[in-house]
Structure 1
Amino acid sequence: MSHSRQQRPPRVLMIVANFHPAVGGTENQALLLCRALMRRGLDVAVLTRRVPGLPETENVSGVPVSRSVRVIDRGKLFGATYFVSCLAYLVAHRRRYDIIHCHILHGFHSLAALCMKLLFGKKVIIKVASSGALSDFLMLKNSLCGSWMLAVLKTADRVIALCRSSVAEARAQGFPDARIALMPNGVDTGRFRPAGGHAGARSRIVYAGNLSANKGLEVLLDAFSLLQREHAGLMLDIYGSGPLEESLGNAAAGPGLAGGVVLHGRVTDLERHFDSTCIFVQPSLAEGMSNVILEAMAAGLPVVATRTGAAGDIIRDGVSGLLVDPGSARQIHAAVQRLLCDEPLAERIGRQARAAVEAACSIESVAGNYLELYQGLLDPPAVSRGRERMV
């Protein structure tokens, strides 16, 4: 290894299929991590898909973004053109980066990145986005040439698992323990923080996220209809957009819910809608590591979440949140009822939630862990990876 590469900070190219202004958990997490790494002096850039009407190159919140991956969105041509376009960019710009950090295991960009590892010795990290019913591994197994792709992906320098269930899935697919790193998503604990003061009794249940079938929103509505009968004036505020927006709006206007449910659409200032009157509920049927759970916990809200993905890793049941089984309106009702009827418990859980994410999931600490991982890959003998959680 050259002396110059040892001295300079790692140069990292993040690859993500979609990026801002597209908004979702993967996109938000990628941007948050990029900015935190840049504050530590790293040279970080993003490669993503071309979007008509948007510039091919620009800075997004200070992060250099290249929308140079072009695709033909017609059946099997999509994957082929995605791979070729991505690989062409990686080859042409290979002297600008040392590490390729791929978001989502089953993306065609991961295969292109591993070609660069084979051809030019680039280090490759691949992050697994989801576990459970929507697992990246299941998506691959059910796809054309999925078994072959899994075999190739095992050559990555590291696979990032967000939770213990994802680690188990990686092991089950034959990924070696030495190449699996357990690292959580990060949260901006400066942006999301307790509002301060106390506005009185809990009067709002809050959900934020995509309005899609896997989020369990129908179950939440069922639970809320029971709670509304027992707590006059209780409101359910839903923030987000998605394919179920119209049907949820119709249900909210129906018998038993009218006036109690408000769909606000997607907001960019979610932290302003979190206050001491809120109980946050995440009713997902399948999940990876929910960014919005981390945000609600950082804001000091008591959280009710289903036992999916990383929820059981970041929430200690009864201490920093309440866990329920996915698909159970009865359990959601009971958990929220418990918080509504015991304000000292709700306050205590909110404080413990904040402490938990500060200790393990602040974006600054997560970025520090990634920096040590990057340095360890580029110069293994010189760097202790004590903070990187190998399995």
Structure 2
Amino acid sequence: MNDKKSKILFIGPTPPPYSGPELSMQQFLESETLNKAFHITFLKTNFRTDNTKKGKFGFSMVTNFFIFFSKLLKLLITTRPKCVYYPITPTQIGWIGRDVWTILLSKLFGAKVIIHLRGSHFKLNFQEFKGIVKKLVGFSLRKVDCAIVQASYLKDQFEPYISQSNVAVLYQAMDVNQYSNTNNYKVERGKILVMGHMTKAKGYTDILKIIPDLCEAFPYVKFYFAGNIRKGERGVFYNQFTGEKITYEDPFEAEETILNSVYKDNYANLGIISGEDKMKHLQTTDIFLTASYSEGFSRSLLEAMSIGKPVVYTPVGAHREVFENETHGFSFEPGELDQLKNALKHLLVDDQKRYEIGLNNRAYVVSNFSIETISDHFKTILSNTLAS
């Protein structure tokens, strides 16, 4: 029976680091639904275990370029996959360094190609690409058989190179058994948890700006940041909600300002967390916050909701079409500090509201975003592409 299953080559990152793209790829590779339907081979793309150096050009990147493509060529020759599934990057260096050549080489060996945009900012970034790069990227995109995005309104990201009829929507998936509120830990009143890179594009510097005002009204509130502080931006340059370019702010300077203020005890930098430590912080948090200027579909947001937490979030990426303001939490426009403060205040003053929203969020994730549900949708996309 196994030899009748279509061969599919998955290309992408796996943990570590334990961030969204890596964890999502691992989920698909371990999916019983997908492995029953297809013969899956995997080629790992990430050579680093630390996201702080991601996207930086250097000698190691050149070396890894040749290592990666030698492995890809070998797999294309030996396994002859019918389809190649490949999450793309949103950056010019990513497309020139790997994406263009991965697509074209896969097509050269007769494979169908499915690309996956795990963010919401390719179209805006593409405007900044150099002329020759735009032509190369456009040429490779025309060879793509199917593109996957994380929200329906993002289906225009690849126009005019890929028509919307060849673009599919696949939402973020969550292991709802692993991420559940087991009540092992007591909730800490006023604990606000933020997970992800600590950069301007993730809203880190915005959050630090509102700490003084918010903590004047709620002195017991404490912000916990889990992630790494990263200088510069390497992928998100635009406010996806407005289309405006993001004005860069140094996160190290922002942190130094808060640490040298009377509000230093309302701030905690946890660094990168994972495993039981991560689960403990998710379960003990009172409110989960994401302030990103651009997202495809925040995995950490879904993790917190799966555990039954009320959330404050920006309506970017899939968030604007799958979450409802005041039902799943409170939303605010990226960079709008007054809206951010008000959203947090709405939850901080109402214990019952936090509890009810948390219960609703858990049920909503279980019903709509379980790994079983999303894997079944992914199976349909793969099957339809193979049959086209």
Name 2:85's counterpart in structure 1: 101
Code of the residue aligned with 1:103 in structure 2: it is P
Residues 104 and 136, structure 1, Cα contact 8 Å, conserved in 2: no
Name 2:100's counterpart in structure 1: 111
How far the C-alpha of 1:80 sits from its partner, in A, is: 7.4
Name the SS of the counterpart of 1:213 in structure 2: coil
Name 1:377's counterpart in structure 2: 385
Code of the residue aligned with 2:197 in structure 1: it is N
Code of the residue aligned with 1:298 in structure 2: it is S
How far the C-alpha of 1:299 sits from its partner, in A, is: 1.1
Code of the residue aligned with 1:263 in structure 2: it is N
Residues 37 and 371, structure 1, Cα contact 8 Å, conserved in 2: no
Q: Deviations over 1:222-269 (max 9, x none)?
A: 222222111122111111113257445423312142111111111112
Distance in 2, matches of 1:208 and 1:13, equals: 31
How far the C-alpha of 1:275 sits from its partner, in A, is: 2.5
Distance in 2, matches of 1:81 and 1:109, equals: 10
How far the C-alpha of 1:122 sits from its partner, in A, is: 1.1
Residues 202 and 279, structure 1, Cα contact 8 Å, conserved in 2: no
Q: Deviations over 1:74-125 (max 9, x none)?
A: 5996897578546523433343x33211011554544344335543321211
Distance in 2, matches of 1:104 and 1:50, equals: 13
Name the SS of the counterpart of 2:265 in structure 1: coil
In structure 2, which of residues 145, 151, 155 is the aligned counterpart of residue 157 of structure 1?
145
Code of the residue aligned with 1:91 in structure 2: it is L
Residues 288 and 304, structure 2, Cα contact 8 Å, conserved in 1: yes
Residues 15 and 101, structure 1, Cα contact 8 Å, conserved in 2: yes
Distance in 1, matches of 2:41 and 2:374, equals: 18
In structure 2, which of residues 27, 32, 49 is the aligned counterpart of residue 32 of structure 1?
27
Name 1:287's counterpart in structure 2: 295
Distance in 2, matches of 1:116 and 1:148, equals: 13
CA pair 137-304 structure 1, distance change in 2 beyond 3 A: same
Name 1:43's counterpart in structure 2: 39
In structure 2, which of residues 270, 273, 276 is the aligned counterpart of residue 267 of structure 1?
273
Distance in 2, matches of 1:75 and 1:187, equals: 33
Once the two structures are overlaid, the 10-residue window that deviates more, 326-335 or 139-148, is 139-148
Name 2:135's counterpart in structure 1: 147
- 1:363 aligned onto 2:351: no
Greater relative contact order: 1 or 2 (C-alpha under 8 angstroms, separation 6 or more)?
2
Distance in 2, matches of 1:253 and 1:137, equals: 35
Name 2:351's counterpart in structure 1: 343
How far the C-alpha of 1:46 sits from its partner, in A, is: 2.6
How far the C-alpha of 1:35 sits from its partner, in A, is: 1.4
Distance in 2, matches of 1:286 and 1:375, equals: 30
Distance in 2, matches of 1:365 and 1:215, equals: 28
Distance in 2, matches of 1:313 and 1:237, equals: 28
Gaps of at least 5 residues in structure 1 are 54-71, 381-391
In structure 1, which of residues 115, 120, 135 is the aligned counterpart of residue 109 of structure 2?
120
Distance in 2, matches of 1:227 and 1:86, equals: 52
How far the C-alpha of 1:157 sits from its partner, in A, is: 1.5
How far the C-alpha of 1:44 sits from its partner, in A, is: 2.8
Distance in 2, matches of 1:330 and 1:88, equals: 53
User: How do 1:206-221 and structure 2 match up within 5 A?
Assistant: 206-221=193-208
CA pair 217-189 structure 1, distance change in 2 beyond 3 A: same
CA pair 345-262 structure 1, distance change in 2 beyond 3 A: same
Code of the residue aligned with 1:27 in structure 2: it is E
Distance in 2, matches of 1:47 and 1:160, equals: 19
Aligned length: 354
Code of the residue aligned with 2:104 in structure 1: it is C
- 1:243 aligned onto 2:239: no
Distance in 2, matches of 1:76 and 1:259, equals: 40
Residues 84 and 106, structure 2, Cα contact 8 Å, conserved in 1: no
- 1:21 aligned onto 2:16: yes
CA pair 21-315 structure 1, distance change in 2 beyond 3 A: same
Distance in 1, matches of 2:134 and 2:64, equals: 13
Code of the residue aligned with 1:255 in structure 2: it is S
How far the C-alpha of 1:161 sits from its partner, in A, is: 0.7
Residues 151 and 317, structure 2, Cα contact 8 Å, conserved in 1: yes
How far the C-alpha of 1:168 sits from its partner, in A, is: 2.9
How far the C-alpha of 1:319 sits from its partner, in A, is: 0.7
Gaps of at least 5 residues in structure 2 are 50-56, 232-250
Distance in 2, matches of 1:218 and 1:77, equals: 33
Distance in 2, matches of 1:298 and 1:237, equals: 19
Distance in 2, matches of 1:354 and 1:102, equals: 30
How far the C-alpha of 1:20 sits from its partner, in A, is: 2.8
Name 2:244's counterpart in structure 1: none
TM-score (normalised: structure 1): 0.80
Q: Deviations over 1:134-173 (max 9, x none)?
A: x3662475144223312321321110011134213234x4
Distance in 2, matches of 1:180 and 1:52, equals: 30
How far the C-alpha of 1:180 sits from its partner, in A, is: 0.2
Name the SS of the counterpart of 1:262 in structure 2: strand
Residues 285 and 326, structure 1, Cα contact 8 Å, conserved in 2: yes
